[in-house]
Structure 1
Amino acid sequence: MSHKILIVDDDPHIRQVLAFALGKAGMQTAEAGDGESALDAIAAQRPDLVVLDINMPRMSGLDVCRKLRAADDLPILFLSSRDDEIDRVLGLELGGDDYVVKPFSPREVVARVSAILKRGGRALEEAGALRPVTHGKLRLDPQSWEAQWDGAPVSLTVTEFQLLLLLASLPARVFTRDAIIDRLHGPGFAITDRTIDSHIRNLRHKFASAGGPDLIETRAGIGYRIGPCRGGSA
């Protein structure tokens, strides 16, 4: 069954170009020209991923993301103007999985959509097929895509789950940002360090709220590794 992608942009030409490119890649597409229509379309028939423009009139893509993240971990790929770096970072911190900067190549959008939909193929390989990974009070189940802290569920986006699964699967290893990008998306994938840092901040915030402030350690000048995950004080 092909994946269904909802394209949300107030520019009909961009929607048409992306619909053609994604369709050529074997995906089904639906379109929405504004945030309100996007939320209605998602409620009517949930897609597998949303390509979401940040800058739209009335309801911005960031507002749409906020509403979705209140109750859903639906994957989101943001479309952003070149000069809107603050919005891009905010979009990731709100729970976006990735972003593409306008003007973009349709091929790049397809590649990033495909990378998200693979649901962490490389991360799953590191996890040893589909066996659950337990580390301290953290438990990750790749089959059900569920994360738990001390038995309580923690809602994660696709990319957050992928990243955490990678770190937890190799607890002795310190991963550079480039190594994380290579494992999740493949070598040469154009993602900035700030993107990885935003996902790390999101994970720390979510698990700190659940009683796990020691989820991820930073090794200065190197990168990240999974923390002891014992809870209590970091």
Structure 2
Amino acid sequence: MWRRMAFDGANGLSGVSGREAELTNALILVAEDEPEIAEVIAAYLEREGFRTVRAADGRTALDLHLALKPDLVMLDVQMPRVNGWEVLAELRRRGDTPVIMLTALDQDIDKLQALRIGADDYVVKPFNAVEVAARARAVLRRAGGGGGTMLRVGPIEVDLDSHLASVITGDEPERHALPLTLTEFRILAHMARAPKRAFSRGELLDACLPGGEALERTVDTHLSKLRRKLEDAGATGFVNNVRGVGFRLADLG
């Protein structure tokens, strides 16, 4: 039955840029109790560039949603502990995280119920994994998610709306808030928008310490403190020197 969910490299979405690259950076919570199906969905989404986390029951899905604030939830209807309808209703009480329902029930009444409770889309099993990835991208595009107000680089999250940064670690994800100064937050947010890019000291100075009389070497001090706070929270290998240029957030080595 699930052989239909085969990988199809010809339909890959590699080479995207700009807004599409932001969408690809999205974190997707796959809430599915059948391990084989969850693994295939997650693997294909990751192949397309998305990041994923999985939940095998409704209670875990709600806990992960609260802890990780994913950009999109793919939610199976028939799950243990808390079923998909109840999870969807709770997600809607919490906010407007986009949700795609996954179900084997090909009935109009079920589709209508999903939309009535607040689902953004509805996919009936068995489905093609290429279609699932395309639906995810379309829903994220409509919602304006995947990089708009939440920036993610590895375990690092930067929430531009609430002006908070944190590091998520562990098999059972734990969030560690970063005690950043305003300047450190500005630098982290600026670099997180393009984590593979090398920034010069002058660029960071102009973008993050505007209107001041600080010297370029002041940036080194802020970056050193930022690196230490990231490491203390469990995010090692970030904020790296690029010889002759400046600094890069992500480690490409």
Give the TM-score normalised by structure 1: 0.50
Look at both structures and tell me which one has the larger radius of gyration over its CA atoms: 2
